[in-house]
Chains A and B, each alone.
Chain A
């Protein structure tokens, strides 16, 4: 075999490797849902605030795992499947969450306590709650790095859990606020074992960013 031919084979193999590794890195390794940015506003007393509209559904109904529970965020008037959100630093985030999923209950009833919010309360259909009965939550919204944990009361078991594609009117509206503190990237997660079919209810969607887990990027204002 001539040198030129050998060189072509080696070169071809090297090119193939580079392309294959590049695909591996950029298609799989680096994949993250797109970051949804919540726009900062300044209220009358100069405090920076922002609004985050979220929803949780019993089945996302599209994508690679249509039967998985998921969080959704409202962006530009539409519900978007992304769990990577950006909020301003040193601000107060007002969260409105529509809970479309049924009650599952907590593994650790301690997570029924509202922690880290403004005033130490959340509002469930308008009622202030500090300690939720551990059988009621469908999910929680928790950011351990900020000491935040909010149990999210689910709709009753007899009602079929809705999805955004297939909503029905039954949902629970939950609102709360929290301070973001200085710039950092933190993770958030759910503490209810809501992953049906997985051991402890903690597998699958409970361990996948884009469903029941995500990042909160707290970014300094420019």
Chain B
């Protein structure tokens, strides 16, 4: 068989495998993290695109390699002195590098486009939070990491602090994340948010929640003995509530946590609590 046929056959097989795989990715594989926020939708879409590209490229490389291996294994004649060996082929090499550049720049471009639309120089996670028409006046929630629990302050409502995360749908949320001691990471899976909590630094991220959902919060940076237990899940999970539910929660929270406000430090973007024992 000629060289051309030996290249076309695996090419066709690769194309078929790629198409089947891509269909499965789009239709069957419901990639997380879902669609509760604009960021999550973005992540899911990007994941699908990358899965399609990865599967297609991977299937092609494996198909060609397996085909060539099988071809070699099936050769029944004694190996003749082989005039057909190649040391290099400028056209092939150029085509290979050229197509990798195109694929890579496409992937990078996709990522850069998703990073557009940031409003603050401190933006940690893009979160593609600025959904069209959303009010630009965010609800600010300060996330404080400490060994080993996250607490949340609402500066726009008197600065009360709570250990329960509650936030409303349909409004831009700004997370101001900081730590009182070692490095933690505020990871809210359903929101597609992960922001490191580092002492002395205020890391900001935005999210826009589209529908009510439970929010599993876990610590995403090893922070000591109970790092794995530094979670708000199950009965303690955060909640994204409808605006009216959120208002009633606010009243509850202000009456429950409000009295403790006076002992809290004044709201600031970072805190350096004492004692700092050495």
List A residues at the B interface (Cβ < 8 Å). 104-105, 107-110, 112-113, 115, 130-131, 133-134, 142, 144-145, 147, 149, 181, 186-187, 189, 191, 193, 195-202, 206-209, 213
Contacts and interface: CB of A to CB of B under 8 A. Distances in A.
Interface string B257-278: 1011001110000000111111
A83 to B, nearest CB: 12
Contact of A207 (B163, B224, B263): B224
Given A110-B161, A196-B277, 19 more contacts: A104-B275, A108-B146, A108-B151, A109-B265, A110-B260, A131-B260, A144-B148, A144-B163, A145-B235, A145-B236, A147-B163, A189-B226, A195-B277, A200-B182, A201-B275, A201-B276, A209-B225, A213-B225, A213-B226
B241 interface: no
Given A131-B260, A193-B277, A200-B276, A208 B225 contact: yes
A133 B263 contact: yes
A115 B182 contact: no
B221 to A, nearest CB: 15
B277 A113 contact: no
Contact of B259 (A104, A108, A131): A131
A96 B171 CA distance: 46
B148 A189 contact: yes
A109 B264 contact: yes
Given A108-B144, A199-B278, A207 B260 contact: no
A44 to B, nearest CB: 29
A contact face: mostly helix, strand, loop, or mixed? mixed
A118 to B, nearest CB: 16
A149 B181 CA distance: 19
Interface of B: 144, 146-149, 151, 161, 163, 180-182, 224-226, 229-230, 234-236, 257, 259-260, 263-265, 273-278
A145 to B, nearest CB: 6
Nearest to A120: B256
A109 B259 CA distance: 12
A130 B256 CA distance: 10
Given A144-B163, A189-B226, A200 B277 contact: yes
B267 to A, nearest CB: 12
A144 B273 CA distance: 21
Given A113-B257, A144-B149, A144-B229, A200 B181 contact: yes
Nearest to A207: B225
Contact of A199 (B234, B235, B260, B277): B277
A2 B265 CA distance: 78
Nearest to A213: B225
A86 to B, nearest CB: 18
B53 to A, nearest CB: 41
A107 B181 contact: yes
27 contacts: A105-B274, A107-B275, A108-B151, A108-B273, A109-B263, A112-B260, A113-B260, A115-B163, A131-B260, A133-B263, A134-B263, A142-B149, A144-B229, A145-B234, A147-B235, A147-B236, A189-B226, A195-B277, A196-B277, A199-B278, A200-B147, A202-B147, A202-B181, A202-B182, A202-B224, A206-B147, A213-B226
Contacts of B235: 145, 147, 181
Nearest to A195: B277
